[in-house]
C-alpha cells in the first residue's frame, strides 16, 4: 500500500487493524486508539480518499490502497488552514481526538461548500471530544469553510 | 495586590499587565495538531513487554483455583503472576485519612489475592512480547470460582444484612453528621417547607486516552523511571517509592502528553501499581494501556448518590434552613490515597452554599458495594450539592409562586458580606453572587426569554429555563489532604532560568493535561521577567526536573502554580537587573526589563539586549566585579494558607425544549457567568468552562454506569454508554466577574471544574421548568427520554 505517498510492503497478521498497523508497524502514532469499536473517531484516517475508522478496517483490507494520516496531511500542508484555525480558537485541549477530528473536518472542507453550524456539528458527530465541549471546534471549522473569524 | 496593580513594568509604559489577561493561543498545541504529541502508547522502548490482566467476571467471588499452565505455553508469553507473587514486590495500601474521622477500608493489593470484590478487578497479570499475545494468553487462564453474596444496592449496603468485608463489621466506609442547632425550630416556624429526594447515576470520566503507564526498572541502579499519564507525578513518585521499596530519589515519574484526565488520572490504580511491580520483577520495561472496555470496568466511577433534602422558608421567600440526608456508594474499596470519603464530605460542606440561611443539619453515609470503585472526578461533590440546592430552591420558589431569579436574589449571600463563614464551617474570602446573577440575567435577556417561553407554551411547545448558582472549591490549602496524613503536596514550585541567548526556561510542578497550564505559565513568566512570549519554553511533568509540587487537581494549577511562577519571575527580573547594573556600571533602580531588553526606566531607551547580558553573565563573568556572582536561575514556591480553600462562585442557565411525546430534550443555549478572580488567558478560561459544562450535561442527560442485580456492568462500552457528541450540544455563552483573591499577588482562582459543577443542576431545573405546566417533575439523573415519559405518565 501507499502510506502518505510512500510505498510500503509488510506481511501482516490477518487480524491486525489498520490503525494498529500504522502505529505499530510504521510508527505513525498520530492516529490514536480511543475505543476500538468504531464510536469515538480518534483513529480516523483516509483510505483512497474516503475517511474510515482505522479500528474497523483490517490492515489487509488496505492492501493496494492509498492511505493518508494526520502526519502526511500535515507535511503536505493540506491541513494547514484547519490547524491554524484550531490553534487560534483553542479547538483542542488534550489533543488526543485532534488528529481524527482534523481528518473528519478536512473531509468537509474538501466538499467545498458553505455549511451551517448545525451541519458542521452533524458532520463531526462521530468524533468524540471530552475536553472542549465542541463549540471551539465548530468555530474553527466554520472559519475555514465560511471564512468567518 | 490585584491584577491591575501588578508592577511588572515601569509606570507609564502601558504594559503593566504584560500578557496577563490576553487570549494568546497555546504554544504547545502545535505538536498535538500535527499528530506529533507523545502519549504513553506512542513511546517506543527496547525490550518493552506488555501486560494484560485477567479480570474477575464476578462481582464478588473467591478463587478456588487459578491454573496458568495452558496460558504459559501461549506464544510470546514472558510470565504470568497472581496476587501473591506481585505482593512480594508491592505492599498493599489502606485508603483512609485522619481528618475524615472514622473512615475505614480494607487493605488493597496490586493484584487481588483470593477474592474478587467487583466485576473487572484484576486477579492475574499476563506479560508478553505484545499486547495481543498477552490478551490471547489471558483467554487461556483457567479459574474455578466460588460465588459470594453480592451487595449492589446502596440501601442494602447500609442495612448490612450482607457484609462485604467481614473484618470491618459493616458496609459503612465513612459517615458524617453536622448540625448548627435550632434546625427543628426553624422548620417549625417556617411558612413553607419543601422536600424532595434526588438520585444521581454513577458515571465515569471516559478520557479518550485510556489510563496508561510504562514502567522501566533499571536493576543496575535499583531505579525506576515511570512514564505515567497522571495528574500528580510527585505524589506517584512517593507512592512507587514506598510501595515498591525503592529510594524516593531513585524513582522518576515523567508525564508527557495526557489524553484527558478530569480527576480520573489522579488516583492509585491497582493494575498500574502491578505494572510497575512487574517491571521490577522482570527487570525490563513493561507497559499497560487500559482499553476502552477495561476503562469502563476499572477507571474510577463517581457520583452515585441518593439524597433527601428539605428547605424551610418564610412566605416572603426568606430561606431559614436546609436539611440533608445523603447516601453514596463507592464500591468495595476506598481509593488510595485521597480516599472515597471526600465526595460525600463535599456534598455536606457545599449544599446550600450560595445562600444566607444560618441553620443547617446534614447526615451522610458512604457505603461499600460490589461495583467498581468510586473516587474524585471533576468537580468532586459539587454537581450533587449544586443540584440538591438548586433543585430544592426552585421547588420552594415554585411553591411560593415566586420567580426563580427573584427568589435567588432574595437569598444569595450579599456581595458586601465577606469574609463570611457558611453554616457548614467553610469560609469565603470574597464572592460576587449578586453581580454574577445580574450579569447572567442581562446576558440571557431573562425577561424576554420568559415571555418567549410563555408564548410558546400557548402553542404547545414546552421550553424551560433553569438557573444554578454555585460555589466552588479551588486552590486548596493543606487542609484538603495533607492534614489527614496524605503525602499530597498543597504547595507548588517554579524554577525560571534565563538562557545565554536571553530565552527563558520555566520548570513547574503543575502538569499540563490539555487545559493550557503551560501557556498561562509562559504568559505569567514572560510578563514577570519582561521578555516576549516567543522566548519562553515551559517544562512540566518530570519529577527529576521540576520543583516538588502537587500537580493538577481541585482547580489549583493557575492559582498555585501560577503564583509560584510569578514569584520566581519577579526574583529573576531583580537578579537580571543586578547583572545589568554591574555591566552598565549604573544603579539598579534606573533600569528595567521590557521586550527582551534592558531599558532605562525613565526614558525607556534600550540599554542592552538580554542576549548580550546572557553572553556576559555565562561566558565572560571575568569582566564583572570580583565580588559579583550572577544568579540566572531562580526557584520559588507558593502555598495557599490563609483560607482552607479559595472559594469561587458563579451561576449558570440552561434553555432547552422537552418534547412531551418522545421525552427527548433539545438543548438550545447555555450561559455561565463565573468569578475566577484574575483571568490570565480569557480564551482558555472560557474553554475550560465550556468543556466542563458539556461534561456536566453528559451527567444530566446521558451518562450512567448501569449494573445488573448481580453486579454486572451492563453498558461498559461507548456504544451503550452515551457521552455528549457535537450534534446534540448547543453553544455556550461565557461571561466573567473578576474578584481577584487577595491571598496571592496574581489573584487567580481556579476555574477548571466550574462548568461541571453547575451544568447538571441548570439542565435539571430547565427540564422541570418545561414540564411544570404538564404537572410533571424529574429528579433522577440522567434524565433519559424514558424517565421523562414516565414522569409524564406516558409509559
- Asked if B257 and A27 come within 8 Å (Cβ–Cβ), the reply is no
With contact defined as beta carbons under 8 Å apart, do B488 and B542 qualify? no
**Chain B residues with CB inside 8 Å of A87's CB?**
25-26, 29-30, 33
User: Which residue of A15, A74, A87 is in closest CB contact with B35?
Assistant: A74
Shortest distance between the Cα of B11 and any Cα of chain A, in A, equals 31
Question: How sure is the predictor about B186, in pLDDT bands with cuts at 50, 70 and 90?
Answer: very high
Same domain, A7 and A69: yes
With contact defined as beta carbons under 8 Å apart, do B523 and B534 qualify? no
Same domain, A6 and A70: yes
Question: Strands, DSSP E only, in B434-486?
Answer: 462-472
The answer for B625, left when phi > 0, alpha when psi is -120 to 50, beta otherwise, is beta
Mean pLDDT, rounded, for B347-369: 98
- Asked if B690 and A136 come within 8 Å (Cβ–Cβ), the reply is yes
Strand partners of residue B179 = B361
Residue B5 has pLDDT above 50, yes or no: no
- Tens-digit pLDDT profile for residues B702-744: 999 999 999 999 999 999 999 999 999 999 999 999 999 999 9
Which chain A residues in 81-140 lie under 8 Å from chain B, judged by CB atoms? 83, 86-88, 90, 92-99, 102, 117, 120-122, 124-138
Any idea which fold B3-37+491-638 has?
Aldehyde Oxidoreductase; domain 4 (3.30.365)
Mean pLDDT, rounded, for B569-594: 96
- Tens-digit pLDDT profile for residues B650-686: 999 999 999 999 999 999 999 999 999 999 999 999 9
Size of interface A-B (CB pairs under 8 A): 170
From the candidate CATH numbers 3.40.50.300, 3.20.20.70, 3.90.1170.50, 3.40.50.720, the one assigned to the domain spanning B40-148+206-298: 3.90.1170.50
Q: Is B142 helix (H, G, I), strand (E, B) or coil?
A: strand
Q: What is the pLDDT of residue A112?
A: 85
Mean pLDDT, rounded, for B531-559: 96
How far apart (Å, rounded) are the C-alpha atoms in residues B311 and B407? 13
- Asked if B731 and A135 come within 8 Å (Cβ–Cβ), the reply is yes
The ipTM estimated for the assembled molecules is: 0.97
- Tens-digit pLDDT profile for residues A86-114: 999 999 999 999 999 999 999 999 998 89
Residue B9 has pLDDT above 90, yes or no: no
- Tens-digit pLDDT profile for residues B251-277: 999 999 999 999 999 999 999 999 999
- Tens-digit pLDDT profile for residues B498-520: 999 999 999 999 999 999 999 99
Same domain, A28 and A8: yes
- Asked if B725 and A74 come within 8 Å (Cβ–Cβ), the reply is no
- Asked if A90 and B732 come within 8 Å (Cβ–Cβ), the reply is no
Mean pLDDT, rounded, for B434-442: 98
- Asked if A33 and B41 come within 8 Å (Cβ–Cβ), the reply is yes
How far apart (Å, rounded) are the C-alpha atoms in residues B573 and B569? 6
Same domain, A125 and A88: yes
Same domain, A50 and A69: yes
Strand partners of residue B62 = B115, B146
- Asked if B33 and A93 come within 8 Å (Cβ–Cβ), the reply is no
With contact defined as beta carbons under 8 Å apart, do B740 and B705 qualify? no
Question: How sure is the predictor about A70, in pLDDT bands with cuts at 50, 70 and 90?
Answer: very high
How far apart (Å, rounded) are the C-alpha atoms in residues B331 and B150? 11
Low-confidence winner among B5-19, B64-78, B169-183 (lowest mean pLDDT): B5-19
The answer for A78, left when phi > 0, alpha when psi is -120 to 50, beta otherwise, is alpha
* Boundary of a domain, candidates A46, A74, A102: A74
Query: Is A144 in the B-facing interface, judged by CB distances under 8 Å?
Result: no
Q: Is B74 helix (H, G, I), strand (E, B) or coil?
A: coil
* Boundary of a domain, candidates A48, A74, A100: A74
Same domain, A89 and A51: no
The number of CA neighbours under 13 Å toward the Cβ of A113 is 9
How far apart (Å, rounded) are the C-alpha atoms in residues B789 and B795? 6
Query: Is A36 in the B-facing interface, judged by CB distances under 8 Å?
Result: yes
Q: What percentage of chain B reaches a pLDDT higher than 90? A: 97
- Asked if B25 and A69 come within 8 Å (Cβ–Cβ), the reply is no
Question: How sure is the predictor about A147, in pLDDT bands with cuts at 50, 70 and 90?
Answer: confident
Q: What is the pLDDT of residue A148?
A: 61
Same domain, A63 and A115: no
Residue B2 has pLDDT above 80, yes or no: no
With contact defined as beta carbons under 8 Å apart, do A106 and A127 qualify? no
Same domain, A69 and A90: no
* Boundary of a domain, candidates A22, A41, A74: A74
Shortest distance between the Cα of B86 and any Cα of chain A, in A, equals 29
Same domain, A92 and A56: no
DSSP state letter for B596: T
Number of separate domains in chain A:
2
Any idea which fold B301-478+642-791 has?
Aldehyde Oxidoreductase; domain 4 (3.30.365)
Q: What percentage of chain B reaches a pLDDT higher than 70? A: 98
Domain interval for residue A70: 2-74
How far apart (Å, rounded) are the C-alpha atoms in residues B556 and B75? 47
CATH topology agreement for domains B40-148+206-298 and B301-478+642-791 = no
- Asked if B41 and A29 come within 8 Å (Cβ–Cβ), the reply is yes
Mean pLDDT, rounded, for B142-157: 98
Strand partners of residue B249 = none
The CATH number of whichever domain residue A19 belongs to comes to: 3.10.20.30
| Residue in chain B nearest A33 by alpha carbon | B209
Q: What is the pLDDT of residue B13?
A: 39
Mean pLDDT score of chain B, rounded to an integer? Answer: 96
Q: For chain B, what percentages of helix, strand and coil (3-state, to nearest 5) are there?
A: 30, 25, 45
Cell 440546592 appears where?
A: B389
Residue B8 has pLDDT above 80, yes or no: no
Mean pLDDT, rounded, for B428-440: 98
Q: Which residue ranges make up each domain of chain B?
A: 3-37+491-638, 40-148+206-298, 301-478+642-791
The CATH number of whichever domain residue A110 belongs to comes to: 1.10.150.120
Amino acid at each position: 500500500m501507499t502510506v502518505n505517498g510512500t510505498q510500503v510492503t509488510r506481511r501482516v497478521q490477518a487480524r491486525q487493524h489498520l490503525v494498529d498497523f500504522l502505529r505499530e508497524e510504521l510508527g505513525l502514532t498520530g492516529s490514536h486508539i480511543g475505543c476500538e469499536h468504531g464510536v469515538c473517531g480518534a483513529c480516523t484516517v483516509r483510505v483512497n480518499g474516503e475517511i474510515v475508522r482505522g479500528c474497523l478496517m483490517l490492515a489487509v483490507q488496505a492492501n493496494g490502497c492509498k492511505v493518508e494520516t494526520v502526519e502526511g496531511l500535515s507535511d503536505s500542508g493540506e491541513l494547514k488552514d484547519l490547524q491554524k484555525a484550531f490553534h487560534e480558537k483553542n479547538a483542542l485541549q488534550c489533543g488526543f481526538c485532534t488528529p481524527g477530528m482534523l481528518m473528519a473536518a478536512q473531509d468537509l472542507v474538501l466538499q467545498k461548500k458553505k455549511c451551517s453550524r448545525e451541519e458542521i456539528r452533524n458532520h463531526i458527530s462521530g468524533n468524540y471530544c471530552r475536553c472542549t465541549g465542541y463549540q471551539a471546534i465548530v468555530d474553527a471549522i466554520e472559519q475555514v469553510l465560511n471564512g468567518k473569524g | 495586590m490585584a491584577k491591575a496593580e501588578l508592577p511588572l513594568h515601569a509606570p507609564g509604559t502601558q504594559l503593566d499587565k504584560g500578557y496577563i489577561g490576553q487570549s494568546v493561543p497555546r504554544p504547545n498545541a502545535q505538536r498535538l495538531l500535527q499528530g506529533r504529541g507523545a502519549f504513553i502508547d506512542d513511546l517506543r522502548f527496547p525490550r518493552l513487554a506488555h501486560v494484560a490482566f485477567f479480570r474477575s467476571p464476578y462481582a464478588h467471588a473467591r478463587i478456588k483455583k487459578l491454573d496458568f499452565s495452558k496460558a504459559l505455553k501461549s506464544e510470546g508469553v514472558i510470565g504470568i503472576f497472581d496476587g501473591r507473587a506481585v505482593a512480594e514486590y508491592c505492599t498493599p495500601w489502606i485508603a483512609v485519612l485522619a481528618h475524615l474521622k472514622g473512615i475505614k477500608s480494607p487493605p488493597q493489593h496490586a493484584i487481588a489475592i483470593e477474592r474478587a470484590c467487583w466485576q473487572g478487578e484484576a486477579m492475574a497479570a499476563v506479560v508478553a512480547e505484545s499486547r495481543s499475545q498477552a490478551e490471547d494468553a489471558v483467554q487461556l487462564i483457567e479459574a474455578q470460582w466460588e460465588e459470594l453474596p453480592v451487595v449492589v444496592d446502596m440501601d442494602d449496603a447500609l442495612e448490612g444484612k450482607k457484609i462485604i468485608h467481614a473484618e470491618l463489621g459493616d458496609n459503612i466506609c465513612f459517615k458524617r453528621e453536622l448540625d448548627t442547632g435550632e434546625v427543628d425550630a426553624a422548620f417549625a416556624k417556617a411558612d413553607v417547607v419543601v422536600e424532595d429526594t434526588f438520585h444521581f447515576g454513577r458515571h465515569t470520566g471516559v478520557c479518550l486516552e485510556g489510563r496508561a503507564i510504562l514502567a522501566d526498572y533499571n536493576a543496575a541502579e535499583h531505579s525506576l523511571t515511570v512514564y505515567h499519564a497522571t495528574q500528580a507525578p510527585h505524589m506517584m513518585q512517593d507512592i512507587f517509592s514506598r510501595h515498591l521499596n525503592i529510594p524516593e530519589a531513585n524513582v522518576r515519574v515523567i508525564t508527557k502528553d495526557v489524553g484527558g484526565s478530569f480527576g480520573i488520572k489522579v488516583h492509585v490504580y491497582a493494575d498500574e501499581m502491578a505494572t510497575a511491580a512487574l517491571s521490577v520483577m522482570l527487570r525490563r520495561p513493561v507497559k499497560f494501556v487500559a482499553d476502552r472496555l477495561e476503562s469502563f470496568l476499572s477507571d474510577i466511577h463517581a457520583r452515585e448518590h441518593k439524597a433527601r433534602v428539605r428547605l424551610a422558608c418564610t412566605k416572603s421567600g426568606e430561606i431559614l434552613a436546609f436539611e440533608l440526608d445523603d447516601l453514596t456508594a463507592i464500591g468495595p474499596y476506598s481509593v488510595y490515597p485521597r480516599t472515597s470519603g471526600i465526595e460525600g464530605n463535599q456534598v455536606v460542606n457545599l449544599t446550600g452554599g450560595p445562600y444566607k440561611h444560618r441553620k443547617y443539619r446534614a447526615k451522610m453515609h458512604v457505603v461499600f458495594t460490589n461495583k467498581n470503585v468510586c473516587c474524585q472526578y471533576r468537580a468532586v461533590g459539587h454537581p450533587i450539592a449544586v443540584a440538591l440546592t438548586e433543585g430544592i430552591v426552585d421547588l420552594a420558589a415554585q411553591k411560593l409562586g415566586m420567580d426563580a431569579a427573584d427568589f435567588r436574589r432574595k437569598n444569595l449571600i450579599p456581595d458586601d458580606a465577606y469574609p463570611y463563614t457558611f453554616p457548614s464551617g467553610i469560609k469565603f474570602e470574597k464572592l460576587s453572587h449578586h453581580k454574577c446573577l445580574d450579569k447572567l440575567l442581562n446576558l440571557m435577556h431573562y425577561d424576554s426569554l420568559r415571555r418567549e417561553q410563555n408564548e410558546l407554551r400557548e402553542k404547545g411547545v414546552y421550553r424551560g429555563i433553569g438557573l444554578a448558582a454555585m460555589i466552588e472549591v479551588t486552590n486548596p490549602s493543606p487542609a484538603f489532604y495533607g492534614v489527614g496524613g496524605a503525602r499530597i503536596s498543597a504547595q507548588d514550585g517554579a524554577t525560571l532560568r534565563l538562557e545565554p541567548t536571553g530565552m527563558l526556561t520555566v520548570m513547574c510542578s503543575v502538569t499540563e493535561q490539555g487545559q493550557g497550564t503551560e501557556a498561562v505559565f509562559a504568559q505569567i513568566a514572560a510578563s514577570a521577567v519582561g521578555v516576549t512570549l516567543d522566548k519562553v519554553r515551559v517544562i512540566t511533568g518530570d519529577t527529576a526536573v521540576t520543583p516538588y509540587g502537587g500537580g493538577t487537581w481541585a482547580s489549583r494549577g493557575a492559582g498555585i502554580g501560577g503564583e509560584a511562577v510569578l514569584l520566581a519571575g519577579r526574583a529573576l527580573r531583580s537578579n537580571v537587573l543586578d547583572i545589568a547594573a554591574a555591566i552598565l556600571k549604573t544603579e539598579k533602580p534606573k533600569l528595567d526589563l521590557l521586550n527582551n531588553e534592558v531599558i532605562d526606566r525613565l526614558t525607556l531607551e534600550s540599554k542592552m539586549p538580554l542576549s548580550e547580558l546572557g553572553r556576559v553573565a555565562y561566558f565572560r563573568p571575568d569582566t564583572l566585579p570580583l565580588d559579583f556572582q550572577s544568579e540566572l536561575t531562580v526557584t520559588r514556591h507558593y502555598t495557599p494558607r490563609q483560607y482552607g480553600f479559595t472559594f469561587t462562585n458563579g451561576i449558570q442557565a440552561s434553555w432547552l425544549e422537552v418534547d412531551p411525546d418522545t421525552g427527548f430534550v433539545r438543548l438550545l443555549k447555555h450561559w455561565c457567568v463565573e468569578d475566577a478572580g484574575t483571568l490570565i488567558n480569557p480564551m482558555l478560561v472560557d474553554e475550560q468552562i465550556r468543556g466542563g459544562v458539556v461534561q456536566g450535561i453528559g451527567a444530566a442527560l446521558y451518562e450512567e454506569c448501569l449494573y445488573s442485580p448481580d453486579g454486572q456492568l451492563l453498558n461498559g462500552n461507548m456504544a451503550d454508554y452515551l457521552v455528549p457528541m457535537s450534534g446534540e450540544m448547543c453553544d455556550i455563552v461565557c461571561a466573567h466577574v473578576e474578584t481577584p483573591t487577595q491571598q496571592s499577588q496574581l489573584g487567580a482562582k481556579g476555574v477548571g471544574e466550574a462548568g461541571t459543577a453547575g451544568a447538571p443542576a441548570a439542565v435539571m431545573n430547565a427540564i422541570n421548568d418545561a414540564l411544570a405546566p404538564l404537572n410533571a417533575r424529574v429528579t433522577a439523573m440522567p434524565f433519559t427520554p424514558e424517565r421523562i415519559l414516565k414522569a409524564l405518565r406516558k409509559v
